[in-house]
Structure 1
């Protein structure tokens, strides 16, 4: 069986661990003479060293929870932490989890889980800095980011899909490319680079096609930012934190995920939570719903 077909079969078979699949890809990268593909494979195998180099599928949108203590033995455990309680400059950072680890580590985490969530602890210094500003009269003793295991599974699945698409396109160019001598360039380097950018790095999709489109996108983002800010203010005006805190967290998730596929999931969750409290929140939130629905891809 050719190397290209071996990679295809391994990508399709969920029982094949990703590390083994990626090592096959490393051989293919050498035979194609593609430094870009080799670098991506090495990063997935060994982990990413810089946050700036992370692909978007490794940046997860998360919520946070914590344990709180108050006067006279009062306290709350596993309480939601609203992002709007944090200083604005930290909200984006605390709303995401950067998965820098090798794929083998992520797969091990998924295999040991019960399908629920994983945790990423907050820095203790940061907890000490903001701990008294979250819930009135209470101090945060411990906090962590909540990472859905389903998000990790989706990230791993995305790697398989990108490899499969890349290899299928290489095979379309030259079915024997996987058996070529090292650095013999069976497929022209510029073509390999184009296929890599299209199916692996995704950079082709991030290039603006014209200045008018870019300006329109920026304008829409400005309008959306105002919408989310006003919606948060409206929710915060309702003095029932047991109802509004989860919704405010969800609004922060929508704000940080706009323009991505996960926005629709966060929007649906928001509407599901809202439906349980329409009597209280309906009059407050209703003016924002048409504009919010218009953002859904």
Structure 2
């Protein structure tokens, strides 16, 4: 009798593994075992993540090199003089489904592709880079980053099949019995800070909770430092006085919540509100900074 779990394991070990087919097979297994949390991750990899998904895995934060298009010399490095935003602006979250990333990888020239910014954000980037005039700016990314992303997903799936096999969960003839389904609920999965450690089934009695609610590592001092950096970034944004005042009020509210030792999930919601406001008024650089700081504070 054939085992769908061992079939998937064999597929993943093949150097020519079709990651899309592997994810679809993993989706079938997860659904049949009623592993909803793990299947959410699988489907996000297949269909893409929602824009600004706060649970975006770490491996989907891709680094690149900022370049400005000089009319005489072509693309040249764009040096960001603002150290607070330097690292953030050289990184971009990737929400596209794996199929789209594979297509980008195939079409990329010279092993690179680039991420274009909106004209509004380019204006701000030009200010940060101290360019003499408006210049097109883009983030150049090596396709090696996509290869690494895909390999990470493969490794996550492979470790999952190994754990399933170790528990005797094989899925003979593509079916699982009740014992296998029950055993699968106790298998934890580490998915690169997407859910932290996923515990399927009833987690109310478990000591391990999903990463987006895990606040054991929350650091108040780091949060206050983040508030200060966000304040400095807001002051550099070209915002109308009313919008800037509103943003500062939201930031002050966050600061007070930190000092009052409010629960981290309340602080997280406040940071999300500030980020959304920053996006709505065109403070894109600050919004990116808030998003990055939240990754360090809450995930």
Same fold per TM (> 0.5)?
Answer: yes
> What residue is the counterpart of 2:80 in the other structure?
83
- Runs of 5+ unmatched residues, structure 2: 198-207, 226-291
> What residue is the counterpart of 1:18 in the other structure?
19
In 2, the alpha carbon distance for the partners of 1:132 and 1:83 equals: 9
Deviations 1:36-76 (A, max 9, x none): 1211111011000143121111111222101135xxxxx54
SS in structure 1 at match of 2:136: strand
In 1, the alpha carbon distance for the partners of 2:82 and 2:193 equals: 37
The 5 A counterparts of 1:1-297 are 1-51=2-52, 52-68=54-70, 75-85=72-82, 88=84, 91=86, 93-114=88-109, 116-132=111-127, 134-135=129-130, 138-177=132-171, 179=173, 181=175, 184=178, 186-188=180-182, 192=185, 194-197=187-190, 201=194, 203-204=196-197
Deviations 1:182-222 (A, max 9, x none): 68461436x53542246895714979x997x876x978xx8
Q: Is the 8 A contact 2:6 2:170 kept in 1?
A: no
SS in structure 2 at match of 1:188: helix
Give RMSD over aligned pairs.
3.8
Shift of 1:162: 0.6
* Bigger proportion of residues as helix: 1
In 1, the alpha carbon distance for the partners of 2:165 and 2:192 equals: 14
Q: Is the 8 A contact 1:31 1:183 kept in 2?
A: no
- Runs of 5+ unmatched residues, structure 1: 70-74, 223-255, 261-297
Shift of 1:98: 1.1
Deviations 1:61-98 (A, max 9, x none): 222101135xxxxx543121123348x4x545422111
Shift of 1:22: 0.6
Q: Mark the CA change 1:159 to 1:77 in structure 2 (over 3 Å): closer, same or farther.
A: same
In 2, the alpha carbon distance for the partners of 1:96 and 1:154 equals: 15
